[in-house]
Amino acid sequence: MKIGIYPGSFDPITNGHLDIIERASKICDKVIVAVLENPSKNPMFIIEERVTLIKEVIKSFENVEVDSFSGLLIDYAAKKSANVIVKGLRAVSDFEYEFQMALMNRKLSPELETIFLMTSSQNSYLSSSVVKEVARFGGCIEGLVPQPIVKAILKKL
């Protein structure tokens, strides 16, 4: 069984993330969207809120679940018996960092593969940071994130 982990902060989840989840769900038997607890970041949504929001917007994917973790991704992957890490790439600038992380994960856990999925062109500019910034300045975020996320962001602001 191919179990893929799609890790990230997902603060908030965007349509770009959903695109990667949908495509990964066709490649893997099971996909775990793993929300990273990162103490060095100042998130808009606490970890429990992010997990709840993601669960709401991925309901239609039968082979996708949501969880949270902290610590090393390879340790979490071993705990979940995952054999694939799924990473989304928007631009060449993403690749450099993600390539370095993939090599380190490979060194620490040689049996764990990393697959890179290029984002769809309509989402290549999209990031959680951009969504939050646009929302903070009163811009329209419709079409950038799912409707439940739009509501949650506007409520937070």
From the list 25, 50, 128, 132, the catalytic residue is 128
State how many domains the chain has. 1
Q: Is 55 a catalytic residue?
A: no
Q: What is the CATH number of the domain that holds 33?
A: 3.40.50.620
Region for 143 from its dihedrals, namely left if φ exceeds 0, alpha if ψ lies in -120 to 50, beta otherwise:
left
pLDDT at 122: 87
On whether the CB atoms of residues 120 and 156 are closer than 8 A, the answer is no
**Whether 60 is catalytic:** no
| Residue 151 appears among annotated catalytic residues | no
> What's the token pair of residue 87?
């990473």
Structural domain including 59 reads 3-156
- Binding residues are 9-10, 17, 41, 73, 87-90, 98, 123-129
Residue-wise pLDDT tens digits, 83-97: 999 999 987 778 888
pTM of the predicted structure, to 2 decimals = 0.94
17 catalytic? Reply is yes
Task: Encode pLDDT of 41-90 as tens digits.
Answer: 789 999 999 999 999 999 999 999 999 999 999 999 999 999 999 999 98
Return d(Cα 101, Cα 107) in angstroms, integer: 10
pLDDT at residue 46 in the model: 94
Q: Give the pLDDT score at 59.
A: 95
pLDDT at residue 94 in the model:
80
Residue 133: per-residue pLDDT = 94
| From 17, 30, 50, 132, the catalytic residue | 17
Encode the chain in three state secondary structure: CCEEEEEECCCCCCHHHHHHHHHHHHHCCEEEEEEECCCCCCCCCCHHHHHHHHHHHCCCCCCEEEEEECCCHHHHHHHCCCCEEEEEECCHHHHHHHHHHHHHHHHHCCCCEEEEEECCHHHCCCCHHHHHHHHHCCCCCECCECHHHHHHHHHHC
* Residue 100 CA neighbour count, 13 Å, CB half: 5
